[in-house]
Amino acid sequence: MLRDDVTLTMPPQAIRIVGRDPVAAFFATVPAGGRLDQIQLVVTRANGHPAIAAYLPDHGGWECGGYGIMVLTLAGDQVATITGFPDPGLFPLFELPDTAP
């Protein structure tokens, strides 16, 4: 699903990760401490591109609050770029709830 040369960025932070294995390693360790099973995702769109809204559990684990939006750029049927915006303030712009549905 990810291209070999997939690129992950998170503006305005200086994060730039290139390559399938490094991007996979980032997702396996950074968000929620690598506990991807705790992250809830909602499919949306941003500027005509497929996007994913990510909700992370609070410290008590009872409720998942908005974390950020990841915009995907596709090349055929593969993900070429992932642009992450770790800003829960974006959720109202996408008509998404503050907590996971």
Instruction: Give the model's confidence band at 59: pLDDT under 50 very low, under 70 low, under 90 confident, else very high.
Output: low
Domain boundaries, the chain: 1-6+39-88
Instruction: Give the model's confidence band at 52: pLDDT under 50 very low, under 70 low, under 90 confident, else very high.
Output: very high
For residues 53 and 69, is the Cβ–Cβ distance under 8 A?
yes
By three-state DSSP, how is residue 34 classified?
Answer: helix
Instruction: Give the model's confidence band at 60: pLDDT under 50 very low, under 70 low, under 90 confident, else very high.
Output: low
Residue 21 has pLDDT above 80, yes or no: yes
For residues 14 and 90, is the Cβ–Cβ distance under 8 A?
no
Instruction: Express each pLDDT in 70-92 by its tens digit.
Output: 999 999 999 999 999 999 999 99
Report the mean per-residue pLDDT for the chain.
92
pTM: 0.89
